[in-house]
Copies of this chain bind each other. A is one copy, B any other.
Amino acid sequence: MADTLTSAAAQHAESAAHAARLDHVSKAFGRPGAQQLVLDDITLDVRPGEFVCLLGASGCGKSTLLNLVAGLDKPSAGSITTPGGRPALMFQEHALFPWLTAGKNIELTLRMRGMPREQRRPEAERLLSLVRLGGAYGKRVHELSGGMRQRVALARALAQDSQLLLMDEPFAALDAITRDVLHDELTRIWSETDLSVLFVTHNVREAVRLAQRVVLLSSRPGRINREWSIDIPQPRRIEDAAVADLSVEITEELRGEIRRHGQH
């Protein structure tokens, strides 16, 4: 115990050095005796203000990793610290509260953040129009289309105004155009603030379009396979040749990784 406390204190001291630190993190599911190791010995730092994209095959443990960083699950081994406070998490399923309207979902987050009542409604409407849902304030969750739900969830995550934003395939249900617009918005917000982002996606181009660093996870168990630092200058476009080229390289690596797993 004393040992852990000291190391925790040490980590705290260097808090400026990272927005999130995963230190030899493992995660297994299932009951003892029939456990399935999902994440194995992951060590990863997200620097303050950094934009990291996480890529990996379906089922490799990306969502599990985000849940661990958000503090929703506990690692089976290893430690995770997020010195900047509670990270905002945008779930893979939208996870909007069905008993509230789209606008009220956002306002609840603002309220939890401590924002005074009279500022909440304008702020919620600002965030909704940011995700191109200006008219959806009063809509119930079940009245929204799949992509609209995802955008409300994005607005809710932004409403939290955390220093670390965890996003689990936030744009998967969006058409190319809306996604491009939101890419721009996200890049703008990220570059204007000191926000750090850990971003899970399946779209390799999207990763290259957005990230400063792309991390590729292997499957079964999830390990860090390879990392790319991306120095293509912003503003990038998803159609840029440089983006396309790197995407092809990463896709090839992913393909090789999956091939090593046979079936997968």
Contacts and interface: CB of A to CB of B under 8 A. Distances in A.
Given A169-B146, A172-B172, A255 B57 contact: no
A230 interface: no
A173 B169 contact: yes
Interface stretch (A77-85, A116-124, A174-182): A174-182
A202 B57 CA distance: 20
A254 B123 CA distance: 30
Given A63-B145, A63-B146, A175 B93 contact: no
Given A129-B263, A145-B59, A147-B58, A177 B29 contact: no
Contacts of A61: 145
A258 interface: yes
A124 B58 CA distance: 20
A15 B7 CA distance: 73
A252 B29 CA distance: 46
Interface in A53-88: 55-59, 61-63
B254 A175 contact: yes
A204 interface: yes
Give the residue among A59, A174, A251 with the most B Cβ atoms within 10 A.
Answer: A59
Interface in A136-176: 143-148, 151, 168-169, 172-176
A132 interface: yes
Interface string A107-134: 0000000000000000000000100101
Contacts of A63: 145-146
Give the residue among A148, A176, A203, A263 with the most B Cβ atoms within 10 A.
Answer: A176
Contact of A204 (B55, B132, B176, B248): B176
A157 B111 CA distance: 42
Nearest to A135: B263
A92 B173 contact: yes
A49 to B, nearest CB: 27
A226 interface: no
B174 A58 contact: yes
A56 to B, nearest CB: 7
11 contacts: A57-B177, A58-B147, A59-B147, A63-B146, A146-B169, A147-B202, A172-B172, A172-B173, A176-B203, A179-B202, A239-B248
Enumerate the 4 nearest inter-chain pairs by beta-carbon distance, A residue then B residue, closest first. A58-B147, A59-B145, A175-B202, A92-B146
Interface of A: 29, 55-59, 61-63, 92-93, 129, 132, 134, 143-148, 151, 168-169, 172-179, 202-204, 239, 248, 251, 254-255, 258, 263-264
